[in-house]
């Protein structure tokens, strides 16, 4: 994971969020307060804006991710901001600790686990609670499995993106047990979770960046 790929990932994520923001808002109107698309668009456009400025000297992938996470925490607003923000910060810190050696995606696999764990630590969601965690769980697992089988980062990111899509669809039949949607009880069943949909965009953006 180098800084060029990281930039491409974050910029792709910003593009996808921009393109899908109305759908994210529709999902949040059904089971939340209808601000998720706007929240995400505000956060990722702020991240894209910081990437447009030329860096002062060399910047690592880890530093870019920590800084993107900090931007998301301070700009997204809503429950999802600190959760996505902390996940990017955790990933960035893990990559910083691992160094940038070419390791066939193993450092990224470990970093994604750190990202997933930071979401769980902060939000206390369990699998099946109908949150973004449901996507991080299956996508991280798929990425790690693919890397361990020797698939390489590009194919592993594709596998993670596909698992993430499947993970969003799986939230439809779940009852929300965390966040605003949990106030609806059984009425949250039958709708996809908005934060899970955003998490899938983040994994799709990674796969697209790797393919370029
Ligand atoms: P808010 O609910 O404050 O308006 P958003 O609409 O931006 O915030 O984000 C809602 C999303 O945040 C949910 O769809 C869910 O995926 C995620 N979320 C909320 N609470 C939690 C939690 N405790 N753990 C994990 N994810 C959560
Ligand atoms: Mg909301
Ligand atoms: Mg809100």
Ordered by start, the domain boundaries in the chain are 3-211
pLDDT at 55: 74
- DSSP output for 105-150: THHHHHHHHHHHHHHHHHH-PPTTSSSHHHHHHHHHHHHHHHHHTT
What ipTM score was computed for the predicted complex, to two decimals?
0.99
Confidence at 153, pLDDT banded by 50, 70, 90: very high
The answer to whether residue 54 scores a pLDDT higher than 90 is: no
Query: Given phi > 0 = left and psi -120 to 50 = alpha, else beta, which region is 54?
Result: beta
Distance in angstroms (rounded) separating the CA atoms of residues 119 and 111? 13
pLDDT digits (tens, 9 = 90+) for 68-106: 999 999 999 899 999 999 999 999 999 999 986 667 899
Kindly list the distances between the CA atom of residue 54 and the CA atoms of 2, 51, 117, in Å, as whole numbers in the listed order: 16, 7, 32
pLDDT at 12: 98
Question: Span 21-31, mean pLDDT?
Answer: 98
For residue 57, what pLDDT is reported? 79
Nearest CA to ligand 1 atom 4: 78
Q: What pLDDT shows up at residue 85? A: 98
Burial grade of 104 (CB within 10 A; 0-12, 13-18, 19 or more):
middle
Contact 71, 40 (CB under 8 A): no
Mean pLDDT, all residues of the chain: 96
| Dihedral sign for Cα atoms in the order 98, 126, 188, 163 | positive
Residue 65 contacts residue 95 (beta carbons within 8 Å): yes
Residue 205 scores a pLDDT above 90: yes
Distance from C-alpha of 57 to C-alpha of 71, rounded to nearest angstrom: 20
CB of 205 closer than 8 Å to CB of 20: no
Distance CA 6, CA 185 (A): 38
Separation of 66 CA from ligand 2 center, angstroms?
Answer: 24
Is 0.90 topped by the overall pTM? yes
Q: What's the pLDDT at 52?
A: 86
Distances in Å between the alpha carbon of 95 and those of 13, 85, 112? 19, 16, 10
Q: What is the pLDDT of residues 116-139, one digit of tens each?
A: 999 999 999 999 999 999 999 999
- The atom of ligand 1 lying closest to the CA of 33 is 4
Q: Spell out which residues line ligand 1, taking CB within 6 angstroms.
A: 28, 32-33, 35-36, 39, 78-80, 83, 119, 123-125, 131-133, 178-180, 193-196
Domain boundaries 3-211, corresponding CATH code: 1.25.40.340
Choose among 110, 119, 140, 87: nearest CA to 1.
110
Question: Which ligand sits nearest to residue 42's alpha carbon?
Answer: 1
């Amino acid at each position: 994971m180098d800084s060029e790929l990281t930039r491409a990932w974050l910029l792709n994520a910003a593009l996808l969020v921009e393109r899908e923001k109305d759908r994210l808002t529709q999902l949040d109107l059904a089971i939340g307060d209808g601000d998720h698309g706007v929240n995400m668009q505000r956060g990722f456009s702020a991240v894209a804006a910081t990437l447009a400025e030329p860096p002062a000297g060399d910047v690592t992938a880890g530093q870019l991710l920590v800084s993107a996470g900090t931007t998301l925490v301070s700009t997204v607003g809503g429950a999802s901001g600190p959760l996505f923000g902390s996940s990017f910060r955790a990933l960035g810190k893990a990559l910083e600790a691992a160094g940038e050696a070419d390791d066939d995606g193993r450092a990224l696999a470990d970093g994604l686990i750190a990202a997933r764990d930071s979401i769980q630590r902060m939000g206390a969601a369990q699998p099946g609670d109908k949150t973004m965690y449901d996507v991080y769980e299956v996508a991280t697992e798929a990425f790690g499995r693919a890397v361990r089988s020797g698939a390489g980062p590009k194919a592993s990111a594709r596998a993670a993106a596909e698992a993430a899509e499947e993970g969003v669809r799986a939230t439809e039949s779940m009852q929300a047990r965390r966040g605003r949607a949990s106030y609806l009880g059984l009425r949250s069943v039958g709708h996809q979770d908005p934060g899970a949909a955003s998490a899938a965009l983040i994994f799709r953006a990674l796969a697209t960046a790797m393919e370029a």
